[in-house]
Structure 1
Amino acid sequence: MSINLRSHMMRPIRSACLGTATALIALLAGAPVAVAATDTGSAHAKGTDRVITVIGHLTQQTRFPVNPGGPAAQGDRTVFRSILFDKDDKKQVGETNGTCTTTLAEENGGAEVCVVTYNLPGGQLTVQGMVFGILTQGLPTLPPPSFDNAITGGTGKFDRARGQVHADTIAPGKRRFTIDLD
């Protein structure tokens, strides 16, 4: 009786890879806008919670509608850039760039899924998540509602960063981002 060791060993590896890929897709599908400023040290290295507050000033925003001239529709995209300042809104500390795609255009004020990168001193933070209630009668709301998104990673001193970002609109084109790093 001979056993084909190669095919016998490949099945568990294939199953493990498929399970890992499925878990990764599920994690990314459920995953939001973040930022950092004058904080020092790595979030991963310290192993403690840190809170960073920055103020974002919208500098560029372009909308790419599915139905130009018509109401908001699923698939509409918005691309934006903001300059980030410290919590006192005095010193520039970075910038943020991102895209949002409309996923629900009519019900309950609409919804967008956003992917954003915050370029900060010492590294970058990536954030992903949903923003709800962004539309009223098919038009963007003013001011946009508050939202919470997940920190999905980072580079440099934000290597392996996790946590969440809470955003509040504090003036037209201006938001306060409270970044809670785990």
Structure 2
Amino acid sequence: MGGEPNNTFFRSEPGGREAAPGPLALVQAFVNTVATEGDLHWEAFADADSMRSWLVRRELLAAGDPVWEADVVRARETREALRALLAANNGCEVDAGAVGVLNRAAERARLGVRFGDDGGAALRAKAGGVDGAIGAVLAAAHAGMGEGTWGRLKACANGGCAWAFYDRSRNRSSRWCSMAVCGNRTKTRAYRRRAGAREP
């Protein structure tokens, strides 16, 4: 199912969290274009039309720009590669395959440094179309790294969720998008495993 989610589970920020600040809000929104909860599944990039709508609404793509199924595949691959980096921000190993996907996406976007009128520098995509739109997301990730906020953007430690959330805790110790949902589920599963292991 494409478009915007209408189920209450698929709200923008579980657990009442605020969205990521600054450029990371775009990265978070891009990674959270897919969600699964039990039998419910939502995919903003279900096909070329739904992905075009998402990118146009965020002013990453002109309404008349073509979007092909191959673009959808690459966008999904890039999204999951970013999610893998967010999992690394939450204690997982950095996935070398994900790094390769992101490097190829950056090459297709032809990312380069551009200086503004104020003398500040930022990464900008020279490519147009979907590759340029993906490049804007990668540039936003780079900006967050430069600002020192990147490490707070994480993928939920509940493997069945992996929703991107921004950890505002003082010591950066949040592991789940929502303690009330994913945190409790994870702890309940762990308790049941331990209890089962103790049974004769």
Specify the TM-score bucket, using the shorter chain as the normaliser.
under 0.3
Looking at secondary structure, tell me which structure has more helix per residue. 2
Based on CA coordinates, which of the two structures has the bigger radius of gyration?
A: 1
Q: TM-score if structure 2 supplies the norm length?
A: 0.23
Looking at secondary structure, tell me which structure has more strand per residue. 1
